[in-house]
A and B are shown apart, each in its own frame.
Chain A
């Protein structure tokens, strides 16, 4: 079990709908260690109440419930405009349910008895876009902040360089081209390129042709 894979789950809230009290209790006990908050409920009514009042990131629901049906419950939610991702658990492998589940864009379908790793992986898969979008937003904010407090021109040049890399991570622009496009002075460009080449982030193939060394950051990360 890779600890880091599941750390990212720690900030999410989960709604767990399961009518069997024993299973609900034990699964909740396991999941509570990995997520931020888990709402364990036995009926659809309770579940709906939670969804209306609390922030829920993902729903885990059994299909056959004593007073209802997980699929119908999800359908109801979709109709009401809640597009919360869902994972279904079931004792059955009926394709009938499977087809309905696909139509409702259910993320995964786990056959009981639940393998906890499979469940955690599913949760990870479901939440990954959220994690990633959150990550992107944060990086974007970081860059914005850095560019605000440092020389804006250098940030513009770097933006230009990354926007114009071809598929092979090659940059086919001469200094003068860059100066023309970004509207910066030549010394700034030369200084920046010297810095990049010295650090090894870029390497010069020939005049007006540079290659981005993607491995550089990975190596740095590995050294940490």
Chain B
């Protein structure tokens, strides 16, 4: 198990792609080994079954033939010669032929004995014999060598005896011939016995060869089984290790993903908070802008009030001074005083009224109410009337009586005031017959308030941007770029209406067409059901 852990530890250290490479390498190596071994085994067996059979049987055949040649040809020829059944010449011819054949056969035998396995089969044989469990017997036993040399010696002896017999027959010495022939017969018998024993040895060899082949076969089988088992085992082992590794990898990835998910969730939470914070900031910014817008209008209104106050103030100053001059000239009569006090009171109350208008206009309404639209618009007109008069702009309001709207009265006045002021600023430098027209149309469900000025319209390039905050075409000291943005906010957020702007051609109550800018406010008729 320690090996397993070692391997496991080792595998854990190496990278994932290397692991798969190792697995593939092991499987491929195993396959190659198995294939190689099978190839070798098949070749070895083929060699054994095909080649070895021939090489083992051929010497036996040769030896048998030699034995037959000696016992049949030489022995029988000598026997016939002894009995004078054949002529000497024939006998000599037969014996020399037999000797020749024997020599050839012996050479064949020796060649077949010394036959060496070569090529792939030889390599396979050599390779497999490396794995043989028992030691291989020596190819030629000492006994076999001894027998072979004795056979050779006997063969030489027989040859020389036969030659001697043949020469003696020529000379005709019969006694000696008989003795020699008998001896030769003995020699031949001995030779036959030797050859028989050599054949026996070869047969034993063949049997041992067969056993060896079986062993090779068994060894191959065992090795194949072992190798396949090894490859199988290694593959399984590595697969298990890898699977385990994948599991750990998977679990580690899972933990990583979990950590990341948590981080993401945290980020998401903080993002929500941040978004909420930004929204809050935005709201505050809007509030600030609303304040700025109010301040800007306040400034303009203050200017308006200043204008409206300047004249009565001048008159009042003059009245006060008139008392002094009248006293100085001695014309200060009670009637004069009474008249002047009355005039002064009228002027002062007018001024007070202006202030009240101004004050209530900038007091935001606390709650939505149903109000008369005409009053709301008229208030805006009143507050700008002086500046319009100064710029020589004619404003006309065309609307039915008694249109009632639900919402913040002053905010709508504020919007109308903004639009009138914008129109006034646009008209201020124009040479045309300056006009502002306000039309109010009551549709069944909503009210359209159109404010048209004949100042030539708005540049098409800036038209889409005019409701953006801080966008202004006026000089910085005059415009803050908030007026229209806040107007839009008020109409859309507080009154659930819409405000839009486009350039049109309009007659403005005259015979000719003017290029005009038209701002349209659309507000729903009444929403008294909405909670306050």
Give the interface of A toward B (CB within 8 A).
Answer: 1, 3, 20, 22-23, 26-27, 29-30, 33-34, 64, 66, 91, 112-117
Contact = CB atoms under 8 A, between A and B. Distances in A.
A59 B294 CA distance: 43
Contacts of B389: 66
| From A22, A30, A117, residue with most partner B Cβ within 10 Å | A22
23 contacts: A1-B324, A1-B325, A3-B328, A20-B314, A20-B315, A22-B343, A23-B311, A26-B322, A26-B340, A30-B321, A30-B322, A30-B325, A33-B325, A33-B329, A34-B329, A64-B390, A91-B310, A91-B311, A112-B310, A112-B314, A113-B317, A113-B318, A115-B317
Contacts of A26: 315, 318-319, 322, 340, 343
Contact of A30 (B307, B313, B314, B318): B318
Given A22-B347, A23-B311, A114 B328 contact: no
Chain B interface mostly helix, strand, loop or mixed? helix
B350 to A, nearest CB: 9
A33 B313 contact: no
Interface in B310-365: 310-319, 321-322, 324-326, 328-329, 331, 340, 343, 347
A116 B323 CA distance: 11
A30 B326 CA distance: 7
Contacts of A66: 389
B139 to A, nearest CB: 138
A51 to B, nearest CB: 24
A116 B347 CA distance: 19
Contacts of A27: 318
Contacts, number: 60
A69 to B, nearest CB: 11
Contacts of B314: 20, 23, 91, 112-114
A3 B329 CA distance: 9
A26 B321 CA distance: 9
Interface residues of B, number: 24
Given A29-B322, A66-B389, A22 B312 contact: yes
Contacts of B343: 22, 26
Contacts of B347: 22
Interface of B: 307, 310-319, 321-322, 324-326, 328-329, 331, 340, 343, 347, 389-390
Contacts of A33: 325-326, 329, 331
Contacts of A1: 324-325, 328
Nearest to B328: A1
A116 B325 CA distance: 9
Contact of A115 (B313, B321, B326, B329): B321
A22 B390 contact: no
Given A22-B347, A33-B326, A113 B313 contact: yes
Given A22-B315, A30-B318, A64-B390, 11 more contacts: A1-B324, A1-B325, A20-B314, A20-B315, A30-B325, A34-B325, A112-B310, A113-B317, A113-B318, A114-B317, A117-B321
Most buried by B among A64, A91, A117: A91
A1 B389 CA distance: 39
Given A33-B331, A66-B389, A23 B315 contact: yes
A70 B360 CA distance: 36
A133 to B, nearest CB: 27
Nearest to B327: A1
